[in-house]
Structure 1
Amino acid sequence: MKTIFLALALFATGAHAAANPDATPCDGVDEDKQTIECSVYSRDSAEKLLKENFQNVLARVDVQFGANKVQAKEFTDKLTVAQEAWKKLRDADCAVEVFPAKPGTKEFNIGQNDCLARTSDERSEYLDSIAQSE
């Protein structure tokens, strides 16, 4: 019986998603009752944007420094080191933020995902502001 209900739920979810390709797992989620699926989606979306904004700033640096390849490489190297250091800080801060929740629990996973999403969004905004043409 549980299998039938699960199959119907999956079918209904898939049909809804097919009917609305812009739908996300966060659609209709009540603020007081967030789901793990929404937190995973938010984390993944934020990390994708972070990666895109990092690549965009690297492209802007190439354009801005143009002929001065040495300076462009130096800037890019510094930015890459800063990004790796930031990731370590983000991960450490998120570990503190979700403490003392037990790893693997729903509370831990949602808290971790939300922290990663929020801080990645903040970093994306920062990266988007670097090497902007005046």
Structure 2
Amino acid sequence: MKAMAWLVLMGVMMGAQAGEEDSTPCDTVDTEQQAQACAAFNRQTAERELKAAFDELLARVDEQAAGQTAQAHELTARLQAAQTLWTQLRDADCKVETYAEKPGSKAFEAAWNTCLAQRSDDRSEYLQSLVQQ
């Protein structure tokens, strides 16, 4: 039951961040099934935003590299390597966070999706801060 309360709270908090759609699965989270749908929606949204932030950063590198293609290629390679390592770390951290849940269970899936969404949101913010520099 403690996990359900946590999922409902996360669903409400993450649903507020989704913002783009008029109606989301996070609008009403009263049941475990609704919490799972909300967690899956938040993961998809966070991963979409993460991809957009990474793509925007790569585009900025290309834009600012006028005449310096070697430097742009080197920086792009470093960014891609860092993103790959970050993805591995995110997945490892989420494996730790979801250790208490039985893999394949609904509780595991909801916790896994919530963890990935949170980490992806954090990474998106970081990448967006690099774009601003």
Q: Give the TM-score, by structure 1 length.
A: 0.78
Runs of 5+ unmatched residues, structure 2 = 1-20
Counterpart in 1 of 2:54? 54
- CA deviations on 1:43-101 (whole Å, 9 max, x unpaired) are 00000000000000000111122210110110000000000000000000000001121
Query: 2:124, 2:131 → 1: CA distance?
Result: 13
Shift of 1:132: 2.7
1:122/1:46 CA distance change after superposition, 3 Å: same
Which secondary structure does the structure 2 equivalent of 1:130 belong to?
A: helix
Query: 2:72, 2:131 → 1: CA distance?
Result: 11
Rg (Cα) greater in structure: 1
Counterpart in 2 of 1:5? none
RMSD: 1.6
% of aligned pairs identical?
Answer: 49
Letter aligned with residue 92 of structure 2: A
Query: 2:131, 2:44 → 1: CA distance?
Result: 25
Deviates more, 1:123-132 or 1:91-100: 123-132
Query: 2:57, 2:40 → 1: CA distance?
Result: 26
Alignment length, in residue pairs?
112
Q: Which consecutive segments of 4 or more residues in structure 1 shift more than 2 A?
A: none
Instruction: Assess if the C-alpha contact under 8 Å between 1:43 and 1:117 holds in 2.
Output: yes
Instruction: Assess if the C-alpha contact under 8 Å between 2:65 and 2:72 holds in 1.
Output: yes
Runs of 5+ unmatched residues, structure 1 = 1-20
Query: 1:66, 1:117 → 2: CA distance?
Result: 35
Q: Give the TM-score, by structure 2 length.
A: 0.79
Counterpart in 2 of 1:28? 28
Letter aligned with residue 80 of structure 1: Q
